Amino acid sequence: MSTGYPSPYNAKYIALTQAMIIGFSLVNSFYPKYFIEFYVLYFVVFLAISGVMMYRSNPMLRDRKYISEAIKSRTIYEEKNVDQLIQSDQDYMKQMMAQASKSMKMLGLYVLFLIVVYLVYSQGINRIQSEPAIRDNALLRFAVFIAVYEIMYLSSFLLYRRGGLASLAGSMVMAPRSYRITEKGIVSTDQSRTVLHLTHLKESEVQVNRDKKYIEIVPRGNGRSMPFRLRLYSNDVDKVSELVNRIKRLASREEERK
């Protein structure tokens, strides 16, 4: 399931990171006067490649024509305000608080990580390079920079893993407070701006919880599947479930015709 951001577990992302580590180490060791220029180049290239990876991995960004089609198609059902139902679901509220707490924890850890990186890079690197044996040997400097950058990379990787960002992305639940079901998808009408075309619903499972009055659409595939779980609260969950399953079947029929 994709969040839209490049995952550090992605093989292409790892390869890109390793290439940049080698590039930075080469510049630091053999062409230090060009470090600023190289850093600017790195920043531009990294943003461009990350943007492309984000665009390809997140159907909400990639499939703009489908999103527009879902929004413009005829409305067959509408919930104008289910805030009371959401507030009464204590399990969901606890889950949202846990997600917010985990996000704040990750933010704090990354700020601390950046401070440590700055101190290590600004103080430690200078001391290492001042050693005569390293200062006069470019290959040895290259090995030192490789080691330092790899330690930084592995530290950020472990931080991502231990901080729980991967599990947070995999369990993300969106619950719009108002929404429309159209002939071509589901469109939230609150500030979340969530839009799913029937194509994104094709590889999904519809789970019904009548006690708490919601259905939950859970992605069960890759490719054009949803990048999160979508929960639709309603006083008529059977009606919502029937309509969502109807547009799912329509997606399957359209796929068969292709």
Residue 225 near residue 203 (C-beta atoms within 8 A): yes
Q: Residue 124 — pLDDT band, cuts 50, 70, 90?
A: low
> Are residues 228 and 131 part of one domain?
no
> Are residues 231 and 113 part of one domain?
no
Residue 2 DSSP symbol: -
Report how many helices (DSSP H) and strands (DSSP E) the chain contains, helices first. Answer: 12, 8
Query: Six-digit token pair at 147?
Result: 């080691």
From CA 103, how far away is CA 148, in angstroms rounded? 28
> Are residues 161 and 184 part of one domain?
no
Domain for residue 229, yes or no?
Answer: yes
| Domain with 109 in it | 11-57+94-169
> Are residues 103 and 20 part of one domain?
yes
Burial of 219 (0-12, 13-18, 19+ CB in 10 A): buried
What are the tens digits of pLDDT across the range 172-231? Answer: 788 999 999 999 999 999 988 888 888 888 778 899 999 999 999 988 765 555 668 899
> Are residues 68 and 22 part of one domain?
no
Q: Which long-range contacts (CB under 8 A, 24 or more apart) does 6-9 make?
A: 6/50, 6/53, 6/54, 6/57, 7/166, 7/169, 8/156, 8/157, 8/160, 9/166
- Between 41 and 255, where is the model more confident? 41
CATH number at residue 187: 2.30.29
Ranges 46-60, 141-155, 239-253: which has the least confidence:
46-60
Q: Residue 236 — pLDDT band, cuts 50, 70, 90?
A: very high
Q: Give all strands of the β-sheet with 229-233 in edge-to-edge order.
A: 173-174, 229-233, 214-219, 204-209
Residue 58 near residue 227 (C-beta atoms within 8 A): yes
Measured in degrees and rounded to the nearest 5, phi and psi for residue 233 equal -85, 145
> Are residues 53 and 72 part of one domain?
no
From CA 12, how far away is CA 27, in angstroms rounded? 23
Measured in degrees and rounded to the nearest 5, phi and psi for residue 107 equal -60, -45
Number of domains composing the chain? 2
The reported pLDDT for the residue numbered 82 is: 95
What average pLDDT does the chain have? 79
From CA 203, how far away is CA 129, in angstroms rounded? 55
Domain for residue 17, yes or no?
Answer: yes
State what percent of residues in the chain have pLDDT above 70: 77
What are the tens digits of pLDDT across the range 18-71? Answer: 888 898 888 888 887 887 888 788 778 777 776 676 666 565 566 677 888 889
